[in-house]
């Protein structure tokens, strides 16, 4: 019992960041309200607070990417374009980006953070916004190159966030492991696939029978999913 009392006293005196200290302060009062916040009784630990905003921004930009790919899917799925392969492929990317955003939000809250949907990404430059915006009358070739650039940009940002978590004085292995498991391998495969599709479309658009070649490529996209 004496040992417990000594340890408890040391815990209270050691740091103001302990949940135990918050609880002890409240319970020591004769009257206290249930509305009094326990500011240190949360799921936050490590250096998550240093990377919290970057993860929020990355989740928000995944939501934006999901809607962008969904717009492209709708564009090629209408009666004028009638490219069901492109429609399905971009819809698949849209669903994946949406799932990534949901999983990121779940991870953020699991680590004790709150999700701010107004935390806009700071890594888009004016040139990025200009080049990667969806234009009218996109061809199959234009759209695939646009998606490749967009996807590579997001993959680069995942690497940068990972590098932030690996700083010697602010390392957070949990975040680093999450990014590695959730994004890196799949992003590498998708970038490789998109780059291959862009170069294939370049050859098709240069061929005398370009319309037939692109039609067959669209059929291939349908069967590959």
20 and 95 in a single domain? The answer is: no
37 and 146 in a single domain? The answer is: no
30 and 73 in a single domain? The answer is: no
**Domain ranges, residue 74:** 48-224
The C-alpha torsion from 120 through 121 and 126 to 131, rounded to 10°, is: -110
31 and 52 in a single domain? The answer is: no
58 and 158 in a single domain? The answer is: yes
Query: Rounded to whole angstroms, how far apart are CA atoms 74 and 6?
Result: 67
CATH number, residue 169: 1.20.1260.10
Q: pLDDT band at residue 1, thresholds of 50, 70 and 90?
A: very low
1 and 59 in a single domain? The answer is: no
34 and 76 in a single domain? The answer is: no
224: its two tokens = 């590959």
72 and 37 in a single domain? The answer is: no
Q: Which tens digit of pLDDT belongs to each residue from 149-179?
A: 999 999 999 999 999 887 757 778 889 999 9
- 118-125: long-range pairs with CB below 8 Å, 24+: 119/53, 119/56, 119/57, 119/60, 120/57, 120/60, 121/57, 121/58, 121/60, 121/61, 121/64, 121/157, 122/57, 123/57, 123/153, 123/157, 123/160, 124/61, 124/153
Q: pLDDT band at residue 129, thresholds of 50, 70 and 90?
A: low
Total-model pTM: 0.80
The number of folded domains in the chain is 2
125 and 201 in a single domain? The answer is: yes
DSSP structure class, residue 168: G
């Amino acid at each position: 019992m004496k040992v417990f009392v000594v340890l408890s006293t040391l815990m209270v005196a050691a740091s103001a960041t302990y949940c135990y200290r918050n609880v002890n302060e409240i319970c020591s009062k004769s009257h206290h309200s249930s509305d009094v916040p326990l500011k240190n009784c949360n799921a936050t630990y490590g250096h998550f607070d240093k990377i919290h905003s970057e993860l929020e921004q990355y989740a928000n930009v995944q939501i934006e990417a999901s809607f962008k790919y969904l717009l492209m899917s709708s564009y090629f799925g209408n009666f004028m374009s009638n490219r069901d392969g492109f429609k399905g492929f971009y819809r698949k990317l849209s669903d994946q980006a949406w799932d990534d955003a949901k999983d990121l939000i779940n991870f953020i809250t699991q680590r004790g953070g709150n999700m701010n949907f107004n935390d806009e990404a700071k890594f888009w430059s004016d040139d990025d916004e200009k080049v990667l915006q969806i234009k009218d009358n996109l061809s199959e070739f234009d759209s695939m190159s646009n998606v490749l650039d967009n996807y590579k940009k997001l993959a680069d940002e995942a690497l940068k966030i990972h590098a932030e978590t690996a700083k010697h004085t602010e390392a957070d292995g949990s975040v680093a492991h999450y990014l590695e498991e959730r994004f890196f391998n799949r992003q590498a495969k998708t970038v490789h696939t998109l780059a291959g599709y862009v170069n294939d479309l370049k050859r098709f658009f240069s061929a005398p029978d370009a319309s037939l070649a692109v039609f067959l490529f669209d059929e291939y996209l349908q069967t590959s999913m």
